[in-house]
Structure 1
Amino acid sequence: MNFYIAILLLEEKPSNSILQNILGVIVTVGIVSICVYYVLRYLESVYVKYKKKPYFIHFYPSIKELPSNLQVFIEENDFYNKLDKKRKRYFAHRAAVFLDDIRFVGREGLVINDFMRMQITMMVIQLTFGMRHYLLEYLNTIIIYPASFYSILNKTENIGEFNPRSKAMALSWKDFQKGNLHEDDGRNLGIHEITHAIHYNSIKNNNISSEIFYDTFLELEEYLGSIEIRKQIVDAKILREYAFTDKFEFIAVLIEVFMESPDDLKQKFPEIYAYVVQMLNFRYFED
């Protein structure tokens, strides 16, 4: 009986040994992969420190196509039409992925159509086009009201708000459209609220896009610590008074001006303009 058990043990040993070898290989590959990732991540952080931009922005194993009924909308977008053929495909791909990732909800009887979804989507894609990580972790729902709405969160009548706890953004469609129609006035509801979402994501995440945005924001804060610079900004009246509510509103209003009147901002405050370019890695006004 003991002899029979010994034979069984000998027969089981090779199979156990093979299993252990397989597990050993898997663990080793996993550890090596993690080490390689963090080494590359560190090297990219060093690269960003000196070059002020990531290794790369666009890399997609496969390109997602927009349905033809949605493609017509981006072909009317001014920013999209300034891109080369390759970047146009990237823009359309990002729009298609974003639409799959985000839930649009209408309130107070508002029926959301393709035009509405695409107008908001294109604005998000444009603002994040210089970033590798363009899907915002703390945004998965966009709520659209016909006009201003009562905010349960703030207990006020609002035209837009970003709520990171519910990962939702609420917009007044009337005011969103007004911002798009009256360009160059430094007021754009969509840009403003999307910037809040980007800013919050940059604080909570540690990917390279968030790192660049947040670290540059801190550099800008330090630069704006000068009383003389702050006085120049106030005197120039390039930013509306709401910008001085707090640092979150300041950056949101600043990026409104940057996206709508880049030449004006660059001429009056070239240093601040350069900070925003770096923050968003948005160099398309330089082309």
Structure 2
Amino acid sequence: MNLYIVSLLLVEEEPSNTLLQNILGVFVTVGIVSICIYYVLRYLESIYVKYNKKPYFIHLYFTLKKLPLHLQAFLDANDFYASLDKKRKRYFAHRTVRFLENTRFVGREGLVVDDFMRMQVTIMVTQLTFGMRHYLLEYLNTIVLYPTSFYSILNKTENIGEFNPISKALALSWKDFQKGNLHLDKGKSLGVHEITHAIHYNSIKNNNISCEIFYDTFLLLEKYLGAEEIRKKIVESKILRDYAYTDKFEFIAVLVEVFMESPKELKKQFPEIYYYVVQMFNFRYFED
């Protein structure tokens, strides 16, 4: 009799699965499966990149955002945007909106930042990252514009441009930015230079597929440039200004300036280096 009562008590004490527990179980299972699928696909894409030198895809959006008409006019006036087909133009406009939504613009020393200024910087960032799937840079959420050169508290020097990853800010002299943007500075582009620094730093700190491609290709480029004969040829060609030889970060920033300003010249003189840059940014729009 005692054994019978004990057995009944044990049965009553066994926890039964409630509806909430079942739902939580489903969510946990779906979550675990989703994570496994993500890492499998991520691994497979890494293999794909190894052989094809580009990601599975670049553009995938649930909805496409549109610029207001008064801002769209700035895009329409841009040469790179004008060269795109209709589908890519919609993607470019969407990315422009997203960057504007996620970036704060600040004027210094009395400079009032207007729509024209915001759009010129935004268009340049969007162009440089247009071949990348992950185009919003984690370490860039503020653009600081000065009328001309400014004193850098960080470096204790007078600068025309500076990327500060700690404050996630890019500081630019508007005068010098415009000189490069209008191709008035002998092939130099302050905007391209400093934005490349931001992209480079972002690629070191993140491991998404765009960052992986950029950084891994940069390492391959470094290895290629390790040959004394190649380095000598580059120096003698004078295709890069002297500032490129300050360090490896300045080298890639100056190289990308040349790539964006004079792609045909770079491709003609140094096709291998040209294609390394193409692969780093997945920027194949000069090839169309």
Instruction: Report the residue type matching 1:73 in the other structure.
Output: F
Look up the match of 2:145: 144
- Indicate conservation of the 8 Å contact 1:185/1:260, yes or no: no
CA shift digits 1:69-111 (9 cap, x unpaired): 1000000000000000000000000000100000000000000
Cα distance in 1, alignment partners of residues 248 and 147 from structure 2:
29
| 8 A contact 1:142–1:169 mirrored in 2 | yes
* Residue identity matched to 1:37: Y
After TM superposition, the structure 1 stretch with the greater mean CA deviation from structure 2, 218-227 or 22-31, is 22-31
What residue in structure 2 maps to residue 174 of structure 1?
175
Percent identical pairs in the alignment equals: 77
Per the alignment, residue 217 of structure 1 pairs with: 218
Aligned to 1:108, the other structure's residue is in SS state coil
Tell me whether 1:155 sits opposite 2:148 in the alignment.
Answer: no
Counterpart for residue 97 of structure 2: 96
Question: Alpha-carbon deviation of 1:19?
Answer: 2.4
Which one-letter code corresponds to 1:206 in the other structure? N
| Structure 1 segments unaligned to the other structure (5+ residues) | none
Q: Quick one: distance in 2 between partners of 1:137 and 1:233?
A: 33
Residue equivalent to 1:256: 257
Q: Secondary structure at the match of 1:90?
A: helix
CA shift in 2, pair 1:10/1:164, >3 Å: same
| 2:43 counterpart of 1:42 | yes
Which structure 2 residue ranges, 5 or more long, are not aligned? none
- Per-residue deviation at 1:11? 11
For residues 140-168 of structure 1, give each alpha carbon's deviation from its aligned partner in whole angstroms, at most 9, with x where no partner exists.
00000000000000000000000000000
Aligned-partner Cα distance in 2 for 1:186–1:49: 33
* 8 Å CA contact retained: 1:104, 1:112: yes
For 2:18, what is the secondary structure of its paired residue? helix
1:178-220: CA deviation from partner (whole Å, max 9, x where unpaired)? 1112258331000000000000000000000000000000000
Q: Separation in 2 of the partners of 1:130 and 1:182?
A: 22
Return the letter of the residue paired with 1:254.
L
Q: Secondary structure at the match of 2:59?
A: coil
Match of 1:131 in 2: 132
**Aligned match of 2:27:** 26
Amino acid corresponding to residue 115 of structure 1 in structure 2: F
For the 8 Å contact 1:184–1:257, the answer to whether it is kept is: no
Contact 1:102 1:142 in 2 (8 A): yes
Secondary structure of the equivalent of 2:172? strand
1:230 corresponding residue in structure 2: 231
Equivalent positions of 1:56-75 (< 5 A) are 56-75=57-76
Q: Retained in 1: the 8 A contact 2:179–2:185? A: no
Partner SS state of residue 71, structure 1: helix
Distance 1:128 1:185 in 2: 23
Maintained 8 Å contact 1:65/1:92: yes
1:260 corresponds to which letter in structure 2?
E
Once the two structures are TM-superposed, the CA of residue 20 in structure 1 deviates from its matched residue by 2.1
Following the alignment from structure 2 to structure 1, what is the Cα–Cα distance between the partners of residues 172 and 12? 71
Partner of 1:245: 246
Residue 190 of structure 2 is matched in structure 1 by 189
**What corresponds to 1:87 in structure 2?**
88
The superposition leaves residues 222-258 of structure 1 with CA deviations (integer Å, 9 ceiling, x where unpaired) of 0000000000000000000000000000000000000
CA–CA distance in 1 between the matches of 2:265 and 2:24? 61
Q: Which residue of 1 aligns with 2:269?
A: 268
| 2:127 is aligned with 1:121 | no
